Amino acid sequence: MNKRLIALTGIVVAAAMTRLVPHPPNMTPIAAMALFGGAFLPNRRLAYALPLAAMLLSDIVLGMTLYGKAMLTSQPIVYACLLGTVAMGNLIRDRRSVLNVGVVTLASSLMFFVVTNFAVWAAGSLYPRTLAGLVVCFTAAVPFFRNSLIGDMAFTAILFGGFALLENSVISLREKQQIVTA
């Protein structure tokens, strides 16, 4: 395994593991981890599998220690959103720029908000299955969305920006090394 792949893998796993430390509600690096994996991991299968496996492992730990059960009913929807976020990272794989990263970060945050809250409304018993119930569900979720968006933007900047700094200072982490001959 080359140094770049080891570093990328370590960053994805470390980002997922930060879920295990105290944090404000919904302010985790999960979307950033998925975008980063999709945008940087060289093998597309690995780009999907690694963030998913890291999320699953951290969910198991959280389930056994915090939630009291290994799996929550919402996890399949959350995992589907995670895979969608990896796909968004794939879209910018060859066109990484501050603007593109910002756009996919916002898009992934919105996708997660809409999909997961619609699922809560559609499958749960918290809200009536009416248009008014859907509006109440989304309204109640806005404070969590604020935290998600702040976390997604901050952690994405940290992961993408941090790795760009690493690439600039560690030649072996660069995607394409140029060999200069005299």
pLDDT given for residue 10 in this prediction: 87
Q: Where are the domains of the chain?
A: 3-171
pLDDT in tens, the chain (182 residues): 588 888 888 888 888 888 888 888 888 888 999 999 999 998 889 999 988 888 888 788 877 666 666 556 678 898 999 999 999 999 999 999 999 999 999 999 999 999 999 998 998 788 999 999 999 999 999 988 999 999 999 999 999 999 898 888 888 787 775 445 54
CA dist 78 and 157 (Å) reads 22
Chain centroid to Cα 99, Å, comes to 18
Neighbour-count burial of 111, counting CB atoms closer than 10 A to its CB (0-12 exposed, 13-18 middle, 19+ buried): middle
pLDDT given for residue 98 in this prediction: 94
Whole-model pTM: value is: 0.85
pLDDT given for residue 179 in this prediction: 47
What the block records as the tokens of 128 is: 């009536």
CATH class of segment(s) 3-171 = mainly alpha
pLDDT given for residue 128 in this prediction: 93
pLDDT given for residue 72 in this prediction: 62
CA dist 79 and 20 (Å) reads 18
pLDDT given for residue 56 in this prediction: 85
Question: Could you please report the per-residue DSSP string of the chain?
Answer: --HHHHHHHHHHHHHHHGGGS--STT--SHHHHHHHHHHH-SSHHHHHHHHHHHHHHHHHHHIIIIISSS--TTHHHHHHHHHHHHHHHHHTTT---HHHHHHHHHHHHHHHHHHHHHHHHHH-SSS-SSHHHHHHHHHHHHHHHHHHHHHHHHHHHHHHHHHHHHHHH-GGGSSSPPPP--
In this structure, are residues 38 and 89 in contact, taking their beta carbons and an 8 Å threshold? yes
pLDDT given for residue 111 in this prediction: 97
pLDDT given for residue 67 in this prediction: 62
pLDDT given for residue 83 in this prediction: 95
